[in-house]
Structure 1
Amino acid sequence: MARPLVGIAARFGEEAATAVRRLSGDYKAPVRPRVRVAPVVVERRFAEPIARTDYALEVIEELAGEAGNTLGQRHQGGRRWEARLFRSDGHIQSLRVETGQPTRDVALLMRLFAERIDALADPLDPGYGYDLIRLDVTLAERLDAAQLRLEGGEGATQAPAVAELIDRLRSRR
């Protein structure tokens, strides 16, 4: 601390001199708040409750497309997707799927949701009908466009197949 900072900066770099200033209390670092990005939530409300499970899956597919568009604007893909089906009697059925890589692929998500429904011990029971369906993307990560042939050649097409297998095994778990 007693040494001149010019010599420290010349020998170790400006970062070392800044660290010494911070330790002595002479350097005031600006406060940078962490900006939290709101999670992607899309929902559909129904004036008349829907009582068919296949129609509820069609609505989830539409919501996945809307969420994928929002994630595309953010250059992100979802890793954890949760669909909640709210029955008119207050019961909430929750379905969650997770993927090995960030994705916005609606067909993949619907296949994972279908496998999740098939693996349920207690199948979906609409009862008096669903009056609200919500799809939350609870975990999203950066997803950039990839050109497989340029980035890894023909062998690169195996990586999505492995990720797809991981997703299918995870949905059955």
Structure 2
Amino acid sequence: MATILSVSGSPSPTSRTARLLRHLDGRLTGQGHRVVPLDIRTLPADALLGADFGHPAIVAARRLFEEADGVVVGTPVYKAAYSGLLKSLLDLMPQYALEGKTVLPLATGGSTAHVLAIDYALRPVLSSMGAAHIVQGWFVLDKHITVAEDGVSVTVDPASREALEQVVDQFSVALGAGGAARLSAVAA
């Protein structure tokens, strides 16, 4: 169906945000999409902080954005905003890197006081980058994400899981509709 870039903006190698994204990647793959994960923390810090637009890793990340039909952007919330790591990467992408794409913003955090970070901090940036459609985002409390002993598998508390799955499914449907519209426009 669609190619989805799943971007984790967490700087932590033991991130609940990244693990939650990889869990949701499985759901999207099960719906027939091809999911490409991108953990920003694996990109060279010198390229991100030095704004090295020509660094091979940054060029490769830019290509992933270009090739994606949809983008899932996940971030922990720090000081009522998305992560600085995510900001560093988005600043190195072209102004309209999300043009024509469907985007799903997701955030994790320790308090419901940060719920509005998606709508007041992240959504405006995604919109300014030309996203064709930003579906309803979702915020998950850290305490609702349990990491299994294997360090990979996650369980989402039932209070959050149902709503989160609904948001992911709406994103999947929006991708299908967007892909059909793009194909119709090309055929015309």
- The normalised TM-score by structure 2 is 0.26
Q: Which has the higher contact order (CA 8 A, sep 6+)?
A: 1
- The normalised TM-score by structure 1 is 0.28
Task: Name the structure with the higher strand share.
Answer: 1
Larger CA Rg, structure 1 vs 2: 1
